[in-house]
Structure formats: C-alpha cells, structure tokens
C-alpha cells in the first residue's frame, strides 16, 4: 500500500530537520537549492536514477522530486540561509586564529 504523499510544507520540514541534524546535509542542500532550476532538475534526475538502481526507498525518491520544485527549493534555501553555530569539534568549523 503506497504511503501518503507529503505536502510541500511537510517536505520542507522533513528536509530541513535532516539538515539540522547533520551539517554535511545542510551544506549539500544549500548547494543544491542554489542551482538554477534546469541544472538542479537535471542533477536530481541523475541522483534519482542512481538511487533507483540501488533500490532506494520511495520516500527518498519523493524527496528528490520535491527538491526539483522551485517553491520547495526556495523555502529550503530561506530556512537554511542562516546556518546555526557549528557544534564544537565540527569538522566544518575553521580553526581559531
């Protein structure tokens, strides 16, 4: 039985929550949503095709398709625009001095 499709807001919330838990996800998402629409769509088509070959879960493919939508990408970009302070020891934190 297929699961319920999420609304665009639910996709944004789920994607941003994952990004908030892992700085590397946030960095990649910022790069993805900053791409021009056609480039983002083509790149995500390639990612989805690769994941289908490896039998990725349907909800993962659904998230990738959501990222192709300009409205979803824009909302994610806005929510990730002001990154929170990195955690101590985070490898993305530049060394002091």
Which whole number is the average pLDDT over 81-96? Answer: 55
pLDDT (0 to 100) of residue 1: 37
- Kindly report, residue by residue over 27-59, the tens digit of the pLDDT: 999 999 999 999 999 999 999 998 888 887 777
CA distances from 43 to 21, 47, 72 (A): 24, 6, 16
Q: What's the pTM value of the predicted model, to 2 decimals? A: 0.69
- Kindly report, residue by residue over 6-25, the tens digit of the pLDDT: 788 888 998 899 999 999 98
**Exposed/middle/buried for 85, CB within 10 Å: 0-12, 13-18, 19+?**
exposed
pLDDT (0 to 100) of residue 90: 53
Other beta carbons less than 10 A from residue 49's beta carbon = 11
Annotated domain spans of the chain: 8-80
């Amino acid at each position: 039985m297929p699961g319920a499709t999420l609304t665009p807001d639910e996709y944004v919330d789920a994607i941003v929550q994952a990004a908030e838990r892992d700085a590397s996800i946030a960095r990649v998402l910022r790069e993805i949503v900053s791409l021009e629409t056609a480039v983002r769509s083509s790149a995500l088509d390639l990612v989805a095709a690769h994941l289908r070959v490896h039998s990725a879960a349907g909800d993962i493919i659904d998230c990738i398709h959501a990222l192709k939508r300009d409205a979803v990408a824009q909302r994610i970009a806005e929510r990730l625009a002001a990154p929170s302070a990195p955690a101590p020891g985070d490898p993305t934190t530049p060394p002091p001095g």
